[in-house]
């Protein structure tokens, strides 16, 4: 799996990453969502450099200009619900992309720290021979992304798979490397230190879905 770390150099991306982590800023859910969206826009720009392009000629009012355009059929697929603001950021840049949505959540059958991933709701377009961008803000254990990936490719074969996450733990990256094909791409805005005993990212930012949309039962 090819891994792209995009916050290694100072940029406005690091400013937005700092704000979504800051407990003094997180109480503004609209600002949190907007910052995730802006991070998605930056990640979309960086990812766009790895897509296929074709040469085209554009008619301007004064003549013809040769340029290039994206030559990939894109499908954005976000993991509900935390992935929605990130999805919006990517959609702002890839506005002609098709859109898919899959739910994935941790289920604790014994009411302890052990869990399994439930993949239930899905509204997925045809991804055969298309470039899929799988979007989820947090890569903790990696189990949700792997479960959704396996669901997506059960009856379809994408041309290429790009996974984009805002914050990742080393354990989650290792899990993806063990369980996903080598031709997948992983785009990481920020790499954190570790997972704690409850499999939450440290220092992380908390629960991205709750911060964006409110706490759940």
Q: What token pair was written down for 185?
A: 């791409």
Q: Indicate the pTM of the whole model.
A: 0.93
From residue 48, how far is each of 43, 72, 163 by CA, in Å? 8, 10, 13
Q: What is the pLDDT of residue 69?
A: 97
Q: What is the pLDDT of residue 6?
A: 95
From residue 95, how far is each of 7, 46, 106, 189 by CA, in Å? 24, 16, 31, 21
d(CA 141, CA 57): 46
Q: What token pair was written down for 66?
A: 């040769």
pLDDT in tens, 4-18: 999 988 999 999 999
Contact call for residues 52 and 74 (beta carbons, < 8 A): no
Q: What is the pLDDT of residue 104?
A: 84
The partner residues of 57 in beta bridges, in order of sequence, read 66
| Closest-CA residue to 165 (of 54, 68, 79) | 79
Q: What is the pLDDT of residue 109?
A: 67
| Residue whose entry in the numeric block shows the structure tokens 């074709």 | 54
pLDDT in tens, 95-134: 999 999 999 877 666 666 677 778 888 899 999 999 999 9
Q: What is the pLDDT of residue 5?
A: 96
Q: What is the pLDDT of residue 165?
A: 98
d(CA 144, CA 99): 19
Per-residue pLDDT of the chain (217 residues; tens, 9 = 90+): 999 999 988 999 999 999 999 999 999 999 999 999 999 999 999 999 999 999 999 999 999 999 999 999 999 999 998 999 999 999 999 999 999 999 987 766 666 667 777 888 889 999 999 999 999 999 999 999 999 999 999 989 999 999 999 999 999 999 999 999 999 999 999 999 999 998 899 999 999 999 999 987 7
């Amino acid at each position: 799996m090819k891994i792209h770390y995009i916050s290694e150099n100072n940029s406005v991306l690091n400013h937005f990453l700092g704000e979504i982590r800051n407990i003094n800023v997180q109480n503004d859910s609209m600002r949190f969502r907007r910052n995730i969206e802006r991070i998605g826009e930056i990640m979309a720009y960086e990812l766009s450099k790895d897509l296929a392009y074709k040469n085209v000629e554009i008619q301007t009012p004064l003549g013809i200009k040769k340029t290039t355009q994206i030559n990939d059929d894109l499908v954005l697929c976000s993991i509900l619900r935390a992935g929605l603001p990130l999805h919006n950021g990517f959609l702002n840049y890839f506005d002609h992309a098709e859109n898919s949505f899959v739910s994935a959540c941790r289920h604790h059958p014994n009411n302890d720290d052990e869990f399994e991933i439930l993949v239930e709701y899905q509204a997925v377009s045809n991804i055969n021979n298309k470039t899929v961008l799988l979007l989820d803000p947090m890569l903790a254990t990696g189990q949700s992304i792997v479960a959704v990936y396996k669901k997506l490719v059960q009856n379809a074969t994408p041309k290429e798979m790009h996974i984009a996450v805002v914050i990742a733990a080393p354990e989650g990256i290792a899990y993806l490397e063990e369980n996903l094909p080598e031709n997948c791409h992983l785009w990481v805005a920020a790499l954190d230190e570790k997972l704690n005993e409850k499999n939450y990212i440290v220092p992380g930012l908390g629960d991205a879905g709750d911060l964006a949309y409110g706490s759940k039962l």
